[in-house]
Structure 1
Amino acid sequence: MMIETNPNLNKTILLAVTMASNFLNPLMGAAVNVALPRIGEELSMSAVGLSWVSMSFLLASSVFLVPFGKISDNWGRVKMFLYSNVLFGLATLFCAFSFSSETLLMGRLLQGIGAAGIFASNMAIVISAFEPHERGKMIGLNVMAVYVGLSIAPVLGGILTESLGWRSLFFINAGAVLLIIMAILTKIKAEWAVPDKAKFDYMGTLIYMFSVSGLMYGFSHLPKTEAIVFTLLGITGLLIFVRYELKHQNPVFEMQLFFKNKLFAFSNLSAFINYAATFAITFVFSLYLQYVKGLSPKEAGFVLIAQPVVMAVVASFSGKLSDTKDPRILASIGMGISAAGLLLLTFISKETPYAYIVFALLILGFGFGLFSSPNTNSVMSSVEKRFLGLASATVATMRTTGMMFSMAVAALSVHVFLGDAKIHAGNLDSFILSMRVIVISFTVLCVIGIFTSLIGRRKTTGN
Structure 2
Amino acid sequence: MQDQTVSTASAGRPLPSHYKWLALSNTTLGILMAALNSNIILISLPAIFRGMHVDPMQASNVPYMLWMLMGYTVVTATLLVSFGRISDIYGRVRLYNMGFAVFAVTSVLLFLVPGRGVAGVQQLIVLRLLQGVGAGFLFSNSTAIITDAFPSHQRGMAMGINQIAGIGGSLVGLIAGGLLADINWRLVFLVSVPAGLFGTVWAYLKLKETTRPDRSQKIDWPGNITFAVGLTVLLLALTYGIMPYGSDKMGWRNPFVIVGCIVGVLLLAAFILVELRVKNPMFHLRLFRIRAFSCGCISLFLSSVARGGLQFMLIIWLQGIWLPLHGFSFASTPLWSGIYMLPMMAGFFAMGPLSGMLSDRFGARWFSTGGMVLTAVGFILLTFLPANFSYGVFFLLLLVLGFGMGMFSAPNTTAIMNAVPANQRGASAGMRSTIQNTGIALSMTLYFTILLLGMVHQLPPVLEQGMAAQGVPAAAAARISQLPPTVALFSAFLGYNPMSNLVPASILSALPAASRATLLGTRFFPLTIAPAVMSSLRLAFYMSAAMSVVAAVASFLRGGRYVYGENENRAGK
TM (norm. structure 2) is 0.74
Q: Could you tell me which residue of structure 2 aligns to residue 57 of structure 1? A: 72
**Structure 1 position 255 matched with structure 2 position 274:** no
Task: Kindly indicate whether residue 14 of structure 2 is the aligned counterpart of residue 7 of structure 1.
Answer: yes
**1:200 alignment partner, SS class:** coil
Partner of residue 19, structure 1: 28
Taking the aligned partners of 2:315 and 2:203, their CA distance within structure 1 comes to: 35
Q: Which amino acid aligns with 1:161?
A: A
Partners of 1:16 and 1:300 in 2: CA distance: 29
Contact 2:149 2:210 in 1 (8 A): no
Query: Corresponding residue for 2:107?
Result: 92
Counterpart amino acid of 2:377? Answer: A
State the partner residue of 2:362: 325
Measure, in 2, the Cα distance between the counterparts of 1:411 and 1:114: 28
| 2:40 is aligned with 1:31 | yes
Q: Are the structure 2 counterparts of residues 438 and 253 from structure 1 closer, same or farther at C-alpha, using a change threshold of 3 Å?
A: same
Asked if structure 2 preserves the Cα contact closer than 8 Å seen for 1:76 and 1:191, the reply is: no
Query: Counterpart amino acid of 2:383?
Result: T
How far, CA to CA, are the matches of 1:216 and 1:152 in structure 2?
A: 25
Distance 1:413 1:156 in 2: 29
| Aligned residue among 379, 382, 385 for 2:416 | 379
Q: Which has the higher contact order (CA 8 A, sep 6+)?
A: 1
- Structure 1: which 5+ runs fail to align? none
Paired residue type of 1:245: E
Query: 2 CA distance for matches of 1:312 and 1:352?
Result: 25
State the match for 2:175 in structure 1. Answer: 155
Give distance in 2, aligned partners of 1:333 and 1:179: 39
| Alignment-mate amino acid for residue 44 of structure 2 | A
1:461 is matched with 564
Displacement of 1:205 in angstroms is 0.8
Alpha-carbon distance between aligned partners in 2 of 1:441 and 1:108, rounded to the nearest angstrom:
32
Counterpart position of 2:348 = 311
Task: Say yes or no: does 1:369 pair with 2:406.
Answer: yes
* Separation of aligned partners in 1, 2:385 and 2:414: 35
> What is the DSSP-based 3-state SS (H/G/I as helix, E as strand, rest coil) of the residue aligned with 1:383?
coil
Partner of 2:502: none
Query: What is residue 192 of structure 2 aligned with on the other side?
Result: 173
Return the alpha-carbon distance in structure 1 between the equivalents of residues 351 and 281 of structure 2: 37
Match of 2:295 among 266, 277, 289: 266
Matched, 1:107 2:139: no
Number of the residue aligned with 2:157? 137
Provide the residue aligned with 1:44 in structure 2.
Answer: 55
Tell me the SS of whatever aligns to 2:75: helix
Cα pair 2:293 2:419 within 8 Å, conserved: yes
The offset of 1:66, in angstroms, is 0.9
Once the 2 structures are TM-superposed, how far is the Cα of residue 19 of structure 1 from its aligned partner? Answer: 1.2
Q: Secondary structure of 1:323's partner?
A: helix
1:55 Cα shift?
2.4
Return 184-193 or 309-318, whichever deviates more.
184-193
Greater shift, 318-327 or 182-191, is seen at 182-191
Q: CA deviation at 1:150?
A: 4.1
Whether contact under 8 Å (1:245, 1:252) holds in the other structure is yes
Q: How does 1:217-256 map to 2 (within 5 A)?
A: 217-222=236-241, 223-226=252-255, 227-256=257-286
Q: Which moved more, 1:143-152 or 1:12-21?
A: 143-152
Residue pairs, 1:291-306, within 5 angstroms: 291-292=320-321, 293-294=323-324, 295=328, 296=332, 297-306=334-343
TM-score (norm 1): 0.91
Of 46-55 and 283-292, deviating more is 46-55
Confirm or deny: 8 A CA contact 1:150 1:308 kept in the other structure. Answer: no
Q: How many residue pairs are counted as aligned between the two chains?
A: 461
On the 8 A contact 1:77/1:193 being kept in 2, the answer is no
What is the deviation of 1:94? 4.1
| Greater Cα shift, 118-127 or 85-94 | 85-94
Post-superposition shift, 1:77? 0.6
1:124 corresponds in structure 2 to 144
Judge which range, 286-295 or 374-383, deviates more. 286-295
8 Å CA contact 1:266, 1:453 repeated in 2? yes
For 1:32, the aligned partner's letter is I
Secondary structure, counterpart of 1:224 in structure 2: coil
Name the % identity. Answer: 26
Where do 1:405-416 residues align within 5 Å?
A: 405-416=442-453
Which whole-Å CA distance do the structure 1 matches of 2:320 and 2:184 have between them? 19
Structure 2 segments unaligned to the other structure (5+ residues): 1-6, 242-251, 456-483, 492-497, 500-524, 567-573
Q: Is the CA contact 2:171–2:338 (under 8 Å) kept in the aligned structure 1?
A: no
Residue aligned with 1:457, SS: coil
Higher radius of gyration, 1 or 2: 2
**Distance in 2 between the 1:325 and 1:342 partners?**
27
In 2 relative to 1, CA 348–221 (structure 1 residues): closer, same or farther, beyond 3 Å? farther
CA distance in 1, matches of 2:409, 2:416: 11
**Cα distance in 1, alignment partners of residues 163 and 436 from structure 2:** 12
1:405-444 map, 5 Å: 405-416=442-453, 417=455, 418-422=484-488, 423=491, 424-425=498-499, 426=525, 428-429=529-530, 430-444=532-546
Q: Deviations over 1:35-54 (max 9, x none)?
A: 34545666433497656544
**2:314 alignment counterpart:** 285
**Whole-angstrom CA distance in 1 between matches of 2:535 and 2:125:** 28
